[in-house]
Amino acid sequence: MSLTVDRLLVALEPLSYPDRLKHLAHSARSLRPTDELPSLVAELAGRGTYERRLAAFAALVGRHIGFLAERLTDRDPVVRAYAMRAARTLPLPDAAIEAAYEDASADTRQRLGEVVLASGRTALAERLVPRLREQWGDHTAAKLLPVCSAEFVAAALDELSYALDSWTRIGLNFPDQVLDHAERDLAARPRAERDTSWRRYAEGVAAAVSARAERVLSMLERHRPDVLPAALVTRLNEFVAVDAERTVRPLPQPRHASDAARTPVRRTLVAAPAGGGGRHGRRGGRRPVAAAPQPGRGDPGRRILRRVREVAPSARRAGPPPPRSG
């Protein structure tokens, strides 16, 4: 095998970096994965830094999982990066990723967490959460919640919700659990503190609207905020599709008159179906409200648009809506 490695290195020497990787990939794929590839990788890995990096790339291309599973915390960042890529795309054992946390630096722990999230390793994430909480704190552990099971998330949110950096993926993956948690907190707070909770959960609640628009609308009716969070302003059209007249009621009361006729909030509702229309049809025998840019006098749609114009300044004070993610 030494002759094969030497010949490979000679062949690679004059090539540009992209051509060098292409040649190495072709060579790795042409070897038998049971013996020839592991021998090539092992001999390359026993040489210098350059050869160790070639070994890691060849192992990735040739799917030599055993070699890469042992290098998730390699001292060489290039070798480590190839191993991390393998953990995302190849069936590296959960045990290898779990073991890598033992001696991992803070940066490597972050990369390992990203691997767990990207590869959707639910069982591993649920084993890691209590361990990470004990060793490195709640913020590190909370990052893994988006790939845990619904039951696990429901049990963990009470203690870990404060440590979440982003609620969007949690809200998309677990709308019921996020809404249950948010509503418990809203119900427990005095009226004066309610807006604090709405701001805290707005991102997750907004993400849950796609699956639970009517439930979020009911929450807004029961726990009306003084200022509608910007994240929910961007979802107004989905509330209107459920029931336009109900959408108006939880909107904050205007603090002063303002001509905001051309605000994004108004455009949102003008473009959306109004009244009991949309996917729910007529509700309780109520006449659907026609959605029109210039509703006639006495039309409930006119009242809806006027109400949105009044509340729009409050939405602007709450800050610009975040970019939609998901």
Once rounded to an integer, what is the mean pLDDT over residues 82-100? 96
Higher pLDDT pick, 219 / 267 = 219
CA distance 240 to 154: 29
In a domain, 212, yes or no: no
Count other C-beta atoms under 10 Å from residue 4's C-beta: 14
Tokens at 287, concatenated: 């006449």
pLDDT on residue 121: 97
**Rounded distance, CA 210 to CA 214, Å?**
10
Provide the percentage of residues in the chain whose pLDDT is more than 90.
71
Quickly state the pLDDT bin for 323 (edges 50, 70, 90).
very low
CA distance 148 to 122: 5
Q: Which long-range contacts (CB under 8 A, 24 or more apart) does 132-136 make?
A: 132/101, 133/160, 136/109
Tell me if 40 is assigned to some domain: yes
CB 125 within 8 A of CB 98: no
What was the pLDDT predicted at 268?
Answer: 53
Between CA 82 and CA 136 the distance in angstroms is 25
Lowest mean pLDDT among 235-239, 251-255, 287-291: 287-291
Cα separation, 100 vs 51, in Å, equals 23
Angle at 80 between CA 74 and CA 85, to 5 degrees: 150
Q: What is the pLDDT of residues 195-211, one digit of tens each?
A: 999 999 999 999 999 99
In a domain, 11, yes or no: yes
pLDDT over 70, % of the chain: 76
Report pLDDT for 46.
96
| pLDDT in the model for residue 248 | 83
Least confident stretch, 10-24, 61-75, 282-296: 282-296
Place of tokens 């045990």: 95
Is 141 within a domain? no
Give the range of the structural domain holding residue 57, as residue numbers without chain letter.
1-92
Question: Do the Cβ atoms of 164 and 142 come closer than 8 Å?
Answer: yes
Identify whether 306 is part of a domain.
no
**What average pLDDT does range 139-158 have in this prediction?**
97
Per-residue pLDDT at 281: 39
Distance in Å from the first CA to the final CA of the chain = 49
Length of the chain: 326
Q: What is the pLDDT of residues 9-24, one digit of tens each?
A: 999 999 999 999 999 9
Return the SS3 of 306: helix
- Return mean pLDDT, the chain: 83
pLDDT of 107 > 60? The answer is yes
In contact, 24 and 11? CB cutoff 8 Å: no
Looking at per-residue pLDDT, the higher value among 271 and 257 belongs to 271
pLDDT greater than 80 at residue 194: yes
Q: Note the pLDDT of residue 71.
A: 97
Residue 290 vs residue 320, higher pLDDT: 320
Distance (Å, rounded) from C-alpha 288 to C-alpha 202?
29
110 is a domain residue: no
pLDDT at 253 (0 to 100): 56
Q: What is the DSSP letter of 162?
A: G
Asked, for residue 48, whether it belongs to a domain, the answer is: yes
The number of domains in the chain is 1
- 25: in domain: yes
Residue 301's pLDDT is: 52
Name which of 50-59, 132-141, 149-158, 301-310 the model is least confident about.
Answer: 301-310
Average pLDDT over residues 173-183: 98
Q: CA-CA distance, 255 to 80, in Å (whole number)? A: 56
Averaged pLDDT for residues 269-278: 48
Report how far residue 199's alpha carbon sits from residue 134's, in angstroms, rounded to the nearest whole number: 29
pLDDT at 77 over 90: yes
Provide the H-helix boundaries in 31-121.
36-45, 49-62, 65-69, 77-89, 94-100, 106-119
Q: Is the pLDDT of residue 175 over 60?
A: yes
With CA atoms as reference, report the closest residue to 176 among 223, 217, 209.
209
pTM: predicted TM-score of the whole model, two decimal places: 0.75
- Give 281 or 268, the one with higher predicted confidence: 268
